[in-house]
Amino acid sequence: MDIFKVAVSSLIIASTSAFAGGNFHMGAKVAGTYNMFWNTDITIDAGTLGISSEQFEDQFDGASVKINGLDDAGGLGVDFGLTFMLSLSNSIALAPELLFSYRNRTADITAVAATNSRDNSVYTDDNVSYTFYYNNENSNNNMFTMNDVELTQWYLEIPVLLRFTTGAGVYLGAGPVFSLNLDTDGKASIFKRDIDDYTTTLVIGLAADVGYSLKIAGSQQLDFGLRFQMGLTNIVSDDISVPEIAENYSIDGTKIANPKDLIISLGVGYWFL
């Protein structure tokens, strides 16, 4: 949270001083987004659950579970908020933004046995019982399938882009994006729950822009832009509480899954100052 306070405070101070010199511009933006994941391989075995590998392999013959479907996850969203621009020269500017971002992704999740193992096995470790329903990886029967699994998230985003604009109005931009997770919900056919505790609070990524600026009158202009945004940090928390299994029991979520954001957006901005 502190990084956002510093970023916003710095933005206000820089904007105030820049406005006095006539180098500051302010506007509003809205963009439609298509949201996906990258780095979606998930295989669960004894190590990822923190269970003794030797005991696990003796009970299940080295079984592991592979989760499929996240690579096909996708959905529409929207970004909206304020844009700022601090001119550094005639063609180069610093262009931070303060955006609210709604992201939605749906997928069909399937679990299959990554190795041969027994069916309907029960394993007990530290007085906690785990039941596994494995099938041979060559079987047509999956362990389970959940259709229309949906992940919805709200973020407060601060992209800080360095922007280069040509004399013809075409612009290019690139820079880091800092995203604060405001709310995360998960929904499937059998449940709906708030899963903020399963996701990270701060996500850091990179963004690249290409677009066109159309001057209207004075300092007013319209921007039409295409943005590619890629997350660099994991959205899954490294400490996930699992009260359904045992009181105060937790697992390292980053050992199980490391999905990262991949977002394409098409937007329009209006510079009114």
Check whether 65 has a pLDDT greater than 60: yes
Looking at residues 7-23, what average pLDDT do you find? 54
Cα–Cα distance for residue pair 115/60, rounded to 1 Å: 10
Q: Three-class SS of residue 178?
A: strand
Tokens of 74: 């996708």
Cα–Cα distance for residue pair 217/103, rounded to 1 Å: 34
Q: Which pLDDT band holds residue 192 (cuts at 50, 70, 90)?
A: confident
Residue among 78, 81, 75 at smallest CA distance from 35: 75
Work out the number of other CB atoms within 10 angstroms of the CB of residue 59.
21
- Range in 81-95, 112-126, 200-214, 223-237 the model is least confident about: 112-126
Q: What percent of the chain has pLDDT over 90?
A: 47
Q: Is domain 2-41+74-111+147-271 in CATH 2.40.160.20, yes or no?
A: yes
Cα–Cα distance for residue pair 65/45, rounded to 1 Å: 7
Looking at residues 142-155, what average pLDDT do you find? 84
Which secondary-structure segment (H or E) carries 268? Answer: strand 260-271
- DSSP, residue by residue, 197-225: GGB-SEEEEEEEEEEEEEEEETTEEEEEE
Domain boundaries, the chain: 2-41+74-111+147-271
Q: What is the pLDDT of residues 209-263, one digit of tens each?
A: 999 999 988 779 999 999 999 999 999 888 776 655 555 566 777 777 889 999 9
Give me the chain's average pLDDT, please.
Answer: 80
Check whether 271 has a pLDDT greater than 90: yes
Cα–Cα distance for residue pair 231/179, rounded to 1 Å: 10
For residues 17-31, one letter each, b for 16 or more C-beta atoms within 10 angstroms of the residue's C-beta and e for the rest, the string is ebeeeebbbebebeb
Q: What is the pLDDT of residues 160-191, one digit of tens each?
A: 999 999 999 999 999 999 999 999 998 877 67
- Per DSSP, what are the bridge partners of residue 93? 87, 163
Check whether 4 has a pLDDT greater than 70: no
- Range in 102-111, 132-141, 194-203 the model is least confident about: 132-141
- Range in 2-16, 34-48, 108-122, 203-217 the model is least confident about: 2-16
| pLDDT of res. 125 | 55
Q: Which pLDDT band holds residue 122 (cuts at 50, 70, 90)?
A: low
Please give the sequence-ordered ranges of beta strands (E in DSSP) within 88-219, or none if there are none.
92-113, 121-125, 128-132, 144-165, 170-188, 191-194, 202-217
198 contacts: CB under 8 Å, gap ≥ 6: 184, 186, 236, 237, 240, 253
Q: Which pLDDT band holds residue 193 (cuts at 50, 70, 90)?
A: confident
Q: Which pLDDT band holds residue 128 (cuts at 50, 70, 90)?
A: low
Looking at residues 76-97, what average pLDDT do you find? 96
Check whether 67 has a pLDDT greater than 90: no
| pLDDT of res. 123 | 53
| pLDDT of res. 19 | 47
Cα–Cα distance for residue pair 199/105, rounded to 1 Å: 15
